[in-house]
Each structure stands twice: as C-alpha cells, then as structure tokens.
Chains A and B, each alone.
Chain A
Amino acid sequence: MTPQKCGENSTQIKFIILEKLEKKETIQKILIGQAKQYLENTGSIVNFTLRFLKNIFSPPFEWRELLKQVYFSGYKSLFFIGTTSFIVGMVFTMQSYPTMSSLGTESWIPTMISLSIVREIGPLITALIFAGKVGSGIGAELGSMKVTEQIDAMSVSGTKPMNFLVVSRVGATTIAVPLLVLYADALGFLGSYFAFQSKEEITMYFFFNQAISVVTYVDLIPSLIKSAMFGFAIGMVASYQGFHAEQGTQGVGRAANTSVVISSFLIFVIDLIMVQINSFFL
C-alpha cells in the first residue's frame, strides 16, 4: 500500500468513526429525550390523579352534573351494550352446544354460560363497549373544551373545573359500568336462552332458574367491584386525555382515540389483576 493510499484510508476511517460517534450522540439524545418525556408524562398522570382525589372531598359537590353524566353515559349505552351482550350470549351458547352435546353434558350449558357471563364476559364486553362509546366521548368533549379555552374559562372564574368536569364524569362512569354489567348479564342470559331453546325444549323459567341458582355473591361481588374499577379507569383515562389535549382539532381526535386505546388496555390489565386477587380469596 502506498503512503498516499494509507493516508486516504485513515481519513476515511476517521470519518466513519466521527459519523458513528455523531450517530451515538443522536441516539443518546433521543433516548434521553424519550426518558424525560416518559417521566414528565408519569408525573403529570400522578399529579392529575392526586388533584382528582383531593377534589373528591372538597366542595362544591356537583351532584346534578354527576346524575346527568350517569344518565348520559349509562342510559345512552343501554342499546349497544344490551344488543352486544344478547348476541354474545347467543353465540357463546351456539358455539358450546355441539361439544357439550357430544359429551352428553348439554344440560350444564345454562350453568356454564351464567358463570362465564357473570364472572367474565358481562364485565369485559360492557367495559370495552363503554370505553369505545363513553370514554371516547369524554375524551373528545373535554379535549374540545380544552382547546377552545372553556376549561381555562372555568378556572379563571374561580370555579373548579376538576370538580365539575372530572370528578362528576369519573364518578358517573364508576357508578354506570357496574349497573350496565347487571343489565348486560341479564341480556346475555336471555340471548343464551333463545339459542339453547332452538336446540332443546326448555322453558324460560327453568333455564333462568338453573342459570341463576349457581351464581353466588362470591361470583357477583368481585364482578361488580371489577366493573367499578373498569369504569373508574375509563373515566380517569378519558378525562386525563381530554384535559391535556393540545394542538386544536387534531388534539381532540387524538384525545378521543388515545382514551379508547389506553382504557381498553387497562381493562385487560385490571381484569388479570382482579382474577389473581379473586382466586387468592377463593
């Protein structure tokens, strides 16, 4: 190798090393930036939750707004949740029937379906639909209020937007989801009955009697507690996203969308934790 070529090579190597160092620095900067962002977001969520908890017990108590929100979030979801639960009850029965029938255990279907619906399907279906319909609605409504400065307008008038907007909505979702779960359970049973009745001669009274006889408080209470936690998570996530919406209409859309995605994910996480806790007590 000539001395000239050797010099060229070493210059090239120097460039490559410098380039790599620059890339390394850029990656480091990105990682630090992301870690900083993550910590800031976590801090913001913790701060929001603490403010929420503080405001639950501080007046004014927005009872009227709470009832209005229970009505809007609960009553207006009845059709979707009822229809979905009815269909799921039917489908679940139709899917189980051939297998159970081949084993000669079709008479267990009402019992099996009722426990599945009460313990798992009812709360899960209700919470997921509720997150999609009500969670996205809260995220979009509060997001829109945020970007049009309506939340700031409440703050500067010396009122507490946290009480009026967040505590009432989170309270409403926490109350509404367990109530909707009971309703979804009932319609799930009904769907199951119609599917079962198309295969076997059975009266509604007998089916429901069999289905309900196996459901105890040990099944129902944890299911309702879990449902209340789903409702709380949906309300909190949607309110947080709405309260922190930025950048105009795009931010409103993002708040609605993120509310559904995060609360749906949290529903499964809470479900998993609650199953573990429940099985520990059982």
Chain B
Amino acid sequence: MQQTEAIIKARNLKKSFGENTIIKNVSFDLMKEENLVIMGKSGTGKSVLIKCIIGLLVPDEGELSVMDYNLMDIDADQLNELRRTVGYLFQGGALYDSMTVERNLKFPLRRFPDAPSESEIDELVDEVLENVELAHTKHKMPSELSGGMKKRIALARTLIMKPKIMLYDEPTTGLDVITSNEISDLILEMRKKYNISSIIITHDISCVDKTADRIIILDKGEVLNEGSFDEIRKSNDNTIRAYFESV
C-alpha cells in the first residue's frame, strides 16, 4: 500500500443537531489507497461523519476537504461532481426498490453529464455484476434478493461509477458470518482492482481485522484512539478493549 498523500483531510470537525453535539474536534486524514476503519459505539457520530464527507450534512465548524474540494464551501454542481467519484455503501443497501437490479446499476450512469453510450453501459453492468458474482440477478427486483445479495448489488452500483473513494456504512451488519467474510474479501478485492481508498464504519471485529490498515475509535463524538489493528488491540483503555473482547 502506498501512503503518499491524503485524499481526505478533516480538521476539528464539529456537528450538532440543535443542542445535541454529535461530533466535536474530529481530525483525521485518509491516505491514497488506504482502508481506514472507524469504530465506536452506536450514536458516537460515525455515520454523521461520513455523511459530512459525502456532503449529505454540512459540518458546523472545522475544515474538510475531499480530493481538492473544500466541503465547507462547495456549490451544488461541484458537490455533484465530487459525488461521482465517491461511492457510498448504505447500511441497508438503499437499492431503488421499484427498479430491477440492471436499472439500479444503470440509473446513475445514464444521468452523468458525459454519460457513456448504452452499449458501454451494458458492458459496465455486466462487468460489475461479474465482480460481485451476481450476474444471474440482473433482471431481478431488489425484493427477490437476500440481505447479502442486496449489499453486493449496492456495492456494484457504486463501483460502476469507478469511484476513487468508497465510504462503507456498516457493510456487514445483519449478515451471517460467511456472507460477512465474503463482503470483507470483496472490499479488499475492490481496493486491489480499482485502487480505491476507503473509510469503513463497522462494529464487526473480523471485518476490521481483515480490512483495516488503520483504525480510529470514536467515543462521544471525539477521537479516542488511532492506530493499527494490533496497536489498538493492545490498548489499556477499557472502552477500547471492550471492542476486542470477542476476538
């Protein structure tokens, strides 16, 4: 892995909803082709943090830049431009349930300003479906798919846009151990194949073990610790140790 330059830079981020401060003083970098795992208890602001990165939420304070785009001062067109290079895997997959798998995959591509031709789109659809090993589901509706299949299709839908950064929001939650492992393998495979930098939010220690180059632990909206899997695992902090008890 090359750790040459930061592709995401966050400094002293703060986000509140009313009087409730969700994240405060959060600073980190995501390096090129790095897998950064963010761990923390529910409600510690992990999802809020990646929603800030993709521009679904705007931080109240701090600095946040993603690939030269300053998220604190960005217009709608620039934001759409940025979003075409950042993939976001939602916790529930968020597949469009009124469309077939094929239409789900074609939906973003057809709406690109410089959209590829229909035959090129067809090729891309086949390619990403092969990558996630679900070519046979092309004409199925999301309601006909299992939880794991939905996650894979959702991943394929983001990969079809050839993203430079992937944001995974609890990619293995609600899946059995075997499917979870398959998803973790897929995350690694996609990085290898497309040179993607990733932020992975997860509680799943085996997924962390497999995918993480570096881990950030969030607690009560603040960065509690940062380091490699082994460094974090050896921590004397009881809060941190609690995450690893199952390993």
Contact = CB atoms under 8 A, between A and B. Distances in A.
Given A152-B56, A153-B88, A159 B94 contact: no
Interface residues of A, number: 16
Interface of B, secondary structure class, is: loop
Given A158-B108, A159-B107, A160-B111, A153 B81 contact: no
A156 B81 contact: no
B94 A148 contact: yes
B95 interface: yes
A269 to B, nearest CB: 32
A158 B56 CA distance: 11
Contacts of B112: 158
Interface in A131-157: 141, 145, 148-150, 152-157
A98 interface: no
B96 interface: yes
Contacts of A149: 90-92, 94
A236 B154 CA distance: 30
Contact of A150 (B81, B84, B97): B97
Contact of A159 (B86, B90, B91, B108): B108
Given A149-B94, A150-B94, A150-B97, A156 B111 contact: no
A152 B94 contact: yes
A178 to B, nearest CB: 26
Contacts of A160: 80, 111
A43 interface: no
B111 A159 contact: yes
A153 B83 contact: no
Contacts of B80: 158-160
Nearest to B98: A141
A158 B90 contact: no
B111 A155 contact: no
Interface in B70-105: 80-84, 86, 88, 90-92, 94-98
B54 interface: yes
13 contacts: A148-B94, A148-B97, A149-B94, A152-B56, A153-B95, A153-B96, A156-B54, A157-B108, A157-B157, A158-B80, A158-B161, A159-B111, A160-B80
A155 B83 contact: yes
B94 A157 contact: no
Contacts of B111: 60, 158-160, 164
Nearest to B88: A156
Chain B interface size range: 20 to 34
Interface string B151-181: 0001001100100000000000000000000
Q: Which 8 A-B pairs have the closest CB atoms?
A: A157-B108, A153-B94, A158-B84, A158-B83, A149-B94, A156-B88, A159-B111, A158-B80
Contacts of A148: 92, 94, 97
A227 to B, nearest CB: 27
Contacts of B81: 158
A150 B98 CA distance: 11
A141 B97 CA distance: 10
Contacts of B95: 150, 153
Contacts of B91: 149
A281 B186 CA distance: 68
B86 A156 contact: yes
A150 B91 CA distance: 11
B161 A156 contact: no
B161 A157 contact: yes
A142 B86 CA distance: 24
Interface in B28-82: 54-56, 80-82
Given A148-B94, A149-B92, A150-B96, A156 B56 contact: yes
Contacts of A153: 88, 90, 94-96, 154, 157
A121 B81 CA distance: 49
B56 A155 contact: yes
B107 to A, nearest CB: 7
